[in-house]
Structure formats: C-alpha cells, structure tokens
C-alpha cells in the first residue's frame, strides 16, 4: 500500500514504524520531525516518570499533614 500526505501547517502523521516508509525532499521551508513510541509494557517504564511520582506523592503527603495541624497564632 502506498499513500501520500500533503503538507499543511499543524498536520501530524502517525504510522506503525515497522511499515516501510519514507519522505520526499523538502523543496522550500523546513521539515520538522518528532520520533515517539508508546508501550503499555511496565518493563519499559521511564525511571524519571517513577521518580516524579514519588516526589509528588511526598509533597502531597506533606501538604496534607500541614493542613491537619492547628495553627498557633501569637
């Protein structure tokens, strides 16, 4: 199967990377490309993502414990 996508500002094209694919030369302007991949396999979780959630959970717990403490005003 072969298809072409005409360029348009803001347009994004997604496809399965295992399919043979390519691009034609840019005649004017510039091409911007972003490589992304997604998985639900937990063995490929990002360590930074896990660390961020640990920090957020710690901050939420600290905020919750401060909310419970009565304030003493002088």
45 noted as active-site residue: no
First to last CA, the chain: 77
Looking at 11, 31, 45, 71, which residue is catalytic?
31
CA atoms of 67 and 63, how far apart (whole Å): 6
CA atoms of 43 and 40, how far apart (whole Å): 9
Active-site annotation, residues: 31
């Amino acid at each position: 199967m072969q298809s072409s996508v005409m360029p348009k500002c803001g347009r994004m094209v997604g496809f399965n990377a295992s399919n043979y694919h390519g691009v034609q030369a840019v005649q004017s302007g510039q091409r911007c490309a972003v490589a992304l991949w997604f998985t639900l396999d937990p063995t490929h979780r990002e360590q930074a993502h896990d660390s961020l959630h640990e920090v957020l959970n710690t901050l939420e717990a600290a905020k919750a414990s401060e909310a419970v403490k009565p304030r003493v005003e002088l």
